[in-house]
């Protein structure tokens, strides 16, 4: 796909679906990336300080640059846009290129989310028509289903928030499940010390500030922990339920039935309709279509439907397209209200 001719064909294909071409800035403020992906992501970006002392970086991601454009230009309503360019990101794999050539397309600000999800996937599929490949897989997941599952589990609220927040950090998430199973992070001696501190602080001035928080705020947090304890036996059961959920993988037309079977077995008050998924065919052109409940952990900002396309060419399997829904990204970047958005990017480096 390094051929400029092929790249131009893809751009024309996307344009024919009613998307408007835009230009994106190559440099953005580093804090927009670090706030979304954490300080640990800093080692993967190319950052520098300008003459005014502001920390900037070469864009490691085109989607964030696009959402910043929508926000900073105070745009309103629905936009169907596409763009092409380079993202700059270091990789732990030395064989990977630090420059990623991409074509991206998005629908921002539309209320018809299910139709938009379908349109983004169909646009991605149409963009592949000029590629030479023998077979492939379209994998579909949904982060929203995971979040709904967690909301129904019998664990403290703080643990629900923790698991949802760290779903995208696969290794750390596994460590969280181990801690949930064993209560290994709860030292009984420290718990008793905390209770004594709690009783002592009840007598202190509630407006006093300790480590940036008022005593009143600290006591409220202690109170929640005391009234909402975490028990190892319950944690083990919840951990097993989560692991079982993340192992669900099936042809897309069986996604709803497999999920509902799982919910019923574990007495979870959730039901999913097959219409919930943007595609119900198990085969589209040369692609097998599958559902995977564990898919969607690559980027923190995904909130709903997610997908990827892997194709096989000359016995080599390559990831050529990724996309999904990120309804909270623009508000996380500074918008006063939540703006729905869904998009995808095609990898031109393959």
pLDDT of residue 205: 78
The pTM is what? 0.81
Q: Which CATH number applies to 4-149+242-347?
A: 3.30.930.10
Residue spans per domain, the chain: 4-149+242-347, 189-229
Query: From its phi and psi, is residue 195 left (phi > 0), alpha (psi between -120 and 50) or beta?
Result: alpha
Cα–Cα distance measured from residue 151 to residue 73, given in angstroms and rounded to the nearest whole number: 36
pLDDT of residue 350: 62
- By the 8 A CB rule, do 306 and 323 touch? yes
Cα–Cα distance measured from residue 49 to residue 8, given in angstroms and rounded to the nearest whole number: 35
pLDDT of residue 212: 66
Cα–Cα distance measured from residue 217 to residue 209, given in angstroms and rounded to the nearest whole number: 9
Q: Nearest Cα to 67, choosing from 121, 38, 28?
A: 28
Kindly state the tokens that stand for 288. Answer: 């097998």
Q: Nearest Cα to 337, choosing from 76, 123, 115?
A: 76
pLDDT of residue 241: 96
Indicate the helix (H) or strand (E) that contains 104.
strand 99-108
How would you classify the pairing of strands 55-58 and 47-49? antiparallel
Q: Say how far residue 282 (Cα) sits from the centre of its chain.
A: 24
Kindly state the tokens that stand for 64. Answer: 């964030």
**Residue spans of the chain under pLDDT 70:** 1-4, 6, 37-38, 183-195, 198, 211-212, 221-233, 350
- By the 8 A CB rule, do 124 and 140 touch? no
Q: Nearest Cα to 229, choosing from 132, 319, 159?
A: 159
Kindly state the tokens that stand for 193. Answer: 């010390």
């Amino acid at each position: 796909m390094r051929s400029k001719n092929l790249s131009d064909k893809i751009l024309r294909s996307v344009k024919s679906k009613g998307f408007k071409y835009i230009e994106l800035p190559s440099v953005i403020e580093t804090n927009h990336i670090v706030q979304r992906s954490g300080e640990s992501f800093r080692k993967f970006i190319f950052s520098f300080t300008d003459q005014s002392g502001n920390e900037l970086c070469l864009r490691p991601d085109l989607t964030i640059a696009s959402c910043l454009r929508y926000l900073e230009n105070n745009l309103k309503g629905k936009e169907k846009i596409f763009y092409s360019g380079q993202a700059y990101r270091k990789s732990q794999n030395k064989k990977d290129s630090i420059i990623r050539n991409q074509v991206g397309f998005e629908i921002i600000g539309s209320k018809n989310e299910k139709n938009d999800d379908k349109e983004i996937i169909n646009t991605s599929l149409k963009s592949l028509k000029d590629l030479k490949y023998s077979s492939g897989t379209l994998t579909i997941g949904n982060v929203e289903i995971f979040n709904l599952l967690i909301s129904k589990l019998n664990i403290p609220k703080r643990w629900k928030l923790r698991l949802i927040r760290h779903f995208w950090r696969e290794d750390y998430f596994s460590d969280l499940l181990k801690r949930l199973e064993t209560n290994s992070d709860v030292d009984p001696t420290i718990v008793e010390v905390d209770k004594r501190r709690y009783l002592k602080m009840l007598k202190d001035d509630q407006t006093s500030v300790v480590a940036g928080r008022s005593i009143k705020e600290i006591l409220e947090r202690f109170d929640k922990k005391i009234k909402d304890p975490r028990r190892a036996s319950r944690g083990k059961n919840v951990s097993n339920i989560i692991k079982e959920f993340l192992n669900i993988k099936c042809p897309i037309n069986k996604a709803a039935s497999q999920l509902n079977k799982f919910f019923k077995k574990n007495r979870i008050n959730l039901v999913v309709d097959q219409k919930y998924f943007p595609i119900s065919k198990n085969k589209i052109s040369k692609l097998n279509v599958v559902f995977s409940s564990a898919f969607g952990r690559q980027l923190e900002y995904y909130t709903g439907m997610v997908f990827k396309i892997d194709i096989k060419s000359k016995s080599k399997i390559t990831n050529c397209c990724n996309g999904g829904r990120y309804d909270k990204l623009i508000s996380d970047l500074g918008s006063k209200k939540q703006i729905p958005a869904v998009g995808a990017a095609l990898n031109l480096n393959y």
